[in-house]
Amino acid sequence: MADLKQLVLGRRDIVDDSDAEHELPHEFMTVNMGPSHPAMHGTVRIVLTVDGEKIVSGDVQPGYLHRCFEKESEHATYTQIFPYTDRLNYVSPMINNVGFAMAVEKLLGLTGKLPERAEWVRVIVSEVSRITDHLTCVGASAMELGAFTPFLYFLKAREWLYGLLEKVSGARLTHSYVRIGGVNKDLPEGWLAELEFNLDKLEREVMVECEAMLNNNKIFRDRMAGVGAMTRQEALASGCTGPIARAAGVDYDVRKDYPYSVYPELDFDVPVGTTGDCFDRYLVRIEEMKQSIRILRQCIARIPEGPVVIADPRVALPPKRDAYNTIESMIRHFKHIVDGIRVPPGETYSFVEGGNGELGFFILSDGTGRPYKLYCRSPSFVHLSTASSLITGHLIADVVPIFGMINMIGGECDK
Amino acid sequence: MSQKVLDALLAKHGGAVVHTESVHGDEVAWIARDHLLAVATWLRDEPTMAFDSPVFVTCIDRLDWRPVGLPPSAAWTEERPRFEVCYQLRSSTHRHRVRLKIAVTEKDPHLPSLTGLWSGFNWQERETFDMYGIRFEGHPDLRRIYLYEEFVGYPLRKDYPKDKRQPLVRRDDLPVNPIRKS
């Protein structure tokens, strides 16, 4: 009897055909991905050279959200720069606020002299921001890979946390809450209990369910595992930090390696991956959220009472009541607002662990109330520079998880 | 914190180091431009240094530098080089950091690129070129990164007015978005 396939298909099995002999003529094609592409989040363009579906080279072009942050900062007083820093990494603005304030405090010689409660409040808002950052990154990436439910759950949880930060600062997204020498105002009454309640809810309702939906989801894992892998050496040589470097096995977390604020007193672990692919980056972020929750629980239990801003009249604004009632305080208030905080001449580089990695500020002061030069070392920019080599050799569809897990935040990358 | 880095650097490359200082806990070494590559290669490959990770590159423009509270001699003068390029390096094994500074004149703003040693400097050097017009010799792909090729001037230089506007006029003679063929 004749071969079944021969009988039905009229030819032998397709496997028997040698692809090499039947290769179709092809040429490279140039495809513009972005800037107006849903997976590019509207702020970056990749000029892809593709061979069919395979990426031969990709030229990543940032800059669509460039807002002249550094130039504007040179013309603003130190206090006026806080709103600009909010717009750097706009899913975790509190960490940017803290990072910038710490750099200025280092120049002023105030590091370690802040009221204790101010340091704890800064750590609390930073860790809440870190959770919102990771929730957004993981949620959006899952959604781009077709898992819409975790996205909605994560964003729901993010809204709880944004609500809490809004109660603290008055703004949902652009908080401008931190001040040089402390924070703007104390936490509202009952806020810590509410935070505790929301953390429980986040852990019980959102994390457990979303992990159940994603961790062993075949589609999710197939799209993430083995995609966009980076070795430890590559991660170091390209300057990667944060979850991307840790997924590749670089045990580096500013909170542990160069401890600042009250982090040395807190008990937490730094997750480190092995394969350095997108799935490890996802796992690192999930674990970091759990560690942040752990940090926050310790903070809630241990935060001391006291003032939240330093009493030093050189940096702190006088209380509103005094500013309206005494001439000395009014003059001080006026000098603060018009001249800015006088920072002694000098330069410094200060860095914190941002949502994406080492977020640093290099400030050169000439002794006036405005920085002579301010440079922001944005982790997103450094990470995005590796994107071109990560996507080369992969399929166009793989750009989406790779780009999602790099977690490029336009405001921070483009400055 | 890592004064021993500066000491070792002075012992090994005394001729290349113009001057060292420690400011606010950061170690700074001024390196002569011609020796930068040799010093940087040594910093990366020497096991006791092991600077395996780049942190940032930026540039300081001293054109308006008249610090308050310092003697007038600290101010910038025509004779001094106008630009300072700063490279910050980090070692993951020893946890120390160092900042290399290279003085570059306004007339001839170039220095060797360190992209060949640390790939992470690629975009950061492009950013410094884009914003300050510093040319990094030997950079594989030195073109503007945030701004477009038609942009005239270097916006973070002190003589570029903050409120200056310029129209985007398309020019065909510039290498707009060249795509690397590999």
Answer whether A218's CB lies under 8 Å from A225's CB: no
Cα distance between residue A317 and residue A307, in whole Å: 14
To 5 degrees, how large is the angle CA B62–CA B63–CA B69? Answer: 65
Answer whether A303's CB lies under 8 Å from A192's CB: yes
Q: What percent of chain B has pLDDT over 70?
A: 92
| Unique residue bearing structure tokens 């992990």 | A211
Total tally of structural domains belonging to chain B: 1
* CATH number of the domain enclosing B42: 3.30.460.80
| Unique residue bearing structure tokens 């991660």 | A235
Asked if residue B46 belongs to a domain, the reply is yes
Asked if residue B166 belongs to a domain, the reply is no
Answer whether A221's CB lies under 8 Å from A279's CB: yes
Asked if residue B146 belongs to a domain, the reply is no
ipTM of the assembly?
A: 0.88
Answer whether A44's CB lies under 8 Å from A410's CB: yes
For residue A247, give the H/E element and its range.
helix A242-247
pLDDT one-digit tens code per residue, A124-152? 999 999 999 999 999 989 988 888 888 99
Is any Cβ of chain A less than 8 angstroms from the Cβ of B66?
Answer: yes
Q: What is the pTM of this model?
A: 0.87
| Unique residue bearing structure tokens 């690397």 | B180
pLDDT one-digit tens code per residue, A177-207? 998 988 988 899 889 999 999 999 998 888 8
Cα distance between residue B147 and residue B56, in whole Å: 19
Cα distance between residue A335 and residue B132, in whole Å: 33
The beta-carbon neighbor of B120 closest among A70, A344, A385 is A385
Q: For each of the domains in chain A, give its residue range(s) and CATH number, in order of start.
A: 69-414 (1.10.645.10)
Asked if residue B105 belongs to a domain, the reply is yes
Which residues 349-408 of chain A have a CB within 8 Å of chain B?
349, 358, 360, 362, 364, 366-368, 372-373, 375, 377, 381-382, 384-385, 392
Asked if residue B34 belongs to a domain, the reply is yes
Cα distance between residue B27 and residue A226, in whole Å: 40
Asked if residue B26 belongs to a domain, the reply is yes
| Segments forming the whole domain that contains residue B65 | 3-112
Which residues 91-130 of chain A have a CB within 8 Å of chain B?
106-107
Of A414, A357, A352, A395, nearest to A122 by C-alpha is A352
pLDDT one-digit tens code per residue, A259-288? 888 999 999 999 998 888 888 999 999 999
Asked if residue B163 belongs to a domain, the reply is no
User: CA end-to-end span of chain B, whole Å?
Assistant: 44
Interface probe for B, chosen from A54, A72, A372 (most Cβ of B below 10 Å), is: A372
The per-residue pLDDT of chain A, averaged, comes to 87
Cα distance between residue B156 and residue B13, in whole Å: 32
Asked if residue B93 belongs to a domain, the reply is yes
Task: Give residues with Cβ within 8 angstroms of A218, minimum separation 6.
Answer: none
Give, in order, the Cα–Cα distances in Å from A74 to each of A290, A369, A394: 38, 10, 42
